[in-house]
Amino acid sequence: MFNLPTSSTTLLERLTDEIISFYESPTAVVPQVTAGQIRTHLQSFDFSRPMDAERVFEEVQYMMRNWNVQITHPRYFGLYNPAPLLTAVIAEALAAVYNPQMAAWSHAPAANEIERHTLRFIAGKLGLPPDTLACNFTAGGSEANHSAVLVALAHRFPETLEDGLWALTQRPIVYASELAHNSFDKIVKHTGLGLDALRIVPVNDSLQMDVNALRILIKQDQDAGRLPFMVVGTAGITATGTIDPLDAIADLCRQYDLWFHVDAAWAGAAVFSDTLRTALAGIELADSVTVDAHKWFNLTMGAGMFFTRHAAGNARAFTVRADYMPPSEDDVTVPYLSTMQWSRRFIGLKLFMALAELGEEQIARMIEYQAGLGEYFRERLAQAGWDIVNETPLPVVNFTHTHIRTGALSVDDVLARLYAEGDAWISSVTLRGEKVFRMCVTNFKTTRADIDSLLNQLIRLITT
């Protein structure tokens, strides 16, 4: 047997201390470091000889604490990167310890059934039919969206599974809002559809997909001899938090026999909330749905989920022959035969454990609490004379100020000064040609005091 040096149990104790310490008190939000400084520091790791395990631990601990934007901090108001529940951190450790081989059901019956049980529960909350359901965990929302396009193609054009897109005499077309996630740009390239097959649909005054414009584009493509086959509706647009009119899009898709996909990577979790669920009306009509558990379920990266009501199309898209793989029981879903993936991490354990520990009511309260903080920030901004430029029940706030609109200051100037202070992080987006601030609450540890602190900083930076 080849004997490797092993880390001492002391390191496990230090890891436990670090998990608790950093979970309770993350370091400054914005790092003050350059790429050159990090690269110079890493030169001491030439990997030519073994290093003491405790020194390696301390070096990694220092770099991770001091040289990253700390997205777990309650004053990180940026992208959809929440602080994870401590349960999720523990689940990640358990998944690493047992390291199940998820590709073959027979190698990991418990792990696969835990995931299946969890996914079917979420599908029920989304309103998807259990009898024809196919679902799986993914690395993230981009993979789930990619799966949706593949399954839609297999469902609508099964001949392409043998002969590729060459089997079609007309070009398939995908429709998405101008504010939809840019993963679809990659997806149409990677699936061979090409960027010219992606139709960008304008948004209306509420920054939602304009359904009338969508109808016109579909008709134009039909008249030109192309094949409209898929529409992407977004629930929780990254830039604005707005939700496309899912009901109206679903009606149009039924009228034209189009695949309706809902990218609900962030806001899909809102189906747990009685007060927010109505904003997602129509999601239950989707042919496929993307939801990311690592976003508003407050879990560690990454944990996407893909759902479709067309199990037969899903099977056509992903079934392959691999005689070397071990057999499974007849009534189970075999992951490598039903997903884009082969080997992968036990992703679903952290969502299973979070749901089991908290229960759906506490998940709903956690989401509603964050939505309430977004509304509180809107109220405080309005009181202080700032301009709010988006509408959504979700905690994403796009805003600007008279000093920005008159050219006295720029958004970039204010953000640079905010980041230099290191105490908070927000982002910017360009809407209708105007660059504005974007603030988002995705942290259950954020408080009204954190909101007040951010606003006070912004007021100071905009007036000095």
Residue 84 within any structural domain of the chain: no
Residue 297 within any structural domain of the chain: yes
| pLDDT for the residue numbered 5 | 63
Residue 299 within any structural domain of the chain: yes
Q: Of 299, 330, 354, which residue constitutes the final position of a domain?
A: 354
| pLDDT for the residue numbered 9 | 76
Residue 446 within any structural domain of the chain: yes
| pLDDT for the residue numbered 106 | 83
Q: Are residues 249 and 226 in the same domain?
A: yes
Helical pair 141-156 and 183-190, crossing angle rounded to 10 deg: 40
| pLDDT for the residue numbered 455 | 97
Q: Give which of 22, 293, 326 is closest to 138, Cα–Cα.
A: 293
| pLDDT for the residue numbered 350 | 96
167 token code pair: 């089997």
| pLDDT for the residue numbered 7 | 64
Q: Are residues 385 and 451 in the same domain?
A: yes
| pLDDT for the residue numbered 4 | 61
Q: Which residues partner with 262 through β-bridges?
A: 233, 289
| pLDDT for the residue numbered 329 | 63
Q: Which residue has the tokens 């007036």?
A: 463
Q: Of 316, 336, 354, which residue constitutes the final position of a domain?
A: 354
Residue 242 within any structural domain of the chain: yes
Q: Are residues 429 and 445 in the same domain?
A: yes
Q: Exposure string (b/e) for 244-253, b if CB count within 10 Å is 16 or more?
A: bbbbbbbebb
| pLDDT for the residue numbered 207 | 95
Q: Are residues 201 and 306 in the same domain?
A: yes
Q: Are residues 47 and 109 in the same domain?
A: no
pLDDT tens-digit profile of 216-263?
A: 999 999 999 999 999 999 999 999 999 999 999 999 999 999 999 999
Q: Are residues 390 and 310 in the same domain?
A: no
Residue 4 within any structural domain of the chain: no
Q: Of 354, 387, 421, which residue constitutes the final position of a domain?
A: 354
Q: Are residues 67 and 112 in the same domain?
A: no
Instruction: Output the domain CATH number for residue 397.
Output: 3.90.1150.170
Residue 412 within any structural domain of the chain: yes
Q: Are residues 270 and 339 in the same domain?
A: yes
Judge whether 206 and 222 are in contact, CB under 8 Å: no
| pLDDT for the residue numbered 319 | 85
Residue 457 within any structural domain of the chain: yes
Report how far residue 78's alpha carbon sits from residue 438's, in angstroms, rounded to the nearest whole number: 7
Report CA-CA distances (Å) from 295 to 48, 112, 268, 426: 39, 22, 10, 17
274 token code pair: 């009685």
- Count of beta carbons in the 10 Å neighbourhood of residue 290: 31
Q: Are residues 163 and 189 in the same domain?
A: yes
Q: 376 burial class (0-12, 13-18, 19+ CB within 10 angstroms)? A: middle
Report how far residue 141's alpha carbon sits from residue 153's, in angstroms, rounded to the nearest whole number: 18
Q: Are residues 267 and 404 in the same domain?
A: no
Q: Are residues 181 and 250 in the same domain?
A: yes
| pLDDT for the residue numbered 89 | 94
| pLDDT for the residue numbered 6 | 62
Report how far residue 261's alpha carbon sits from residue 150's, in angstroms, rounded to the nearest whole number: 12
Q: Give which of 402, 350, 354, 384 is closest to 95, Cα–Cα.
A: 350
pTM for this entry: 0.93
Q: What domain range includes position 253?
A: 93-354
HSE at residue 335, side-chain half, CA atoms within 13 A, is 28
| pLDDT for the residue numbered 10 | 83
Q: Are residues 125 and 224 in the same domain?
A: yes
Instruction: Output the domain CATH number for residue 190.
Output: 3.40.640.10
According to the 3-state scheme, what is the secondary structure of 210-270?
A: CHHHHHHHHHHHHHCCCEEEEEEEEECCCCCCCECCHHHHHHHHHHHCCEEEEECCCHHHH
Report residues of the chain scoring pLDDT below 50: none
Report how far residue 362's alpha carbon sits from residue 383's, in angstroms, rounded to the nearest whole number: 31
Please state the domain count of the chain. 3
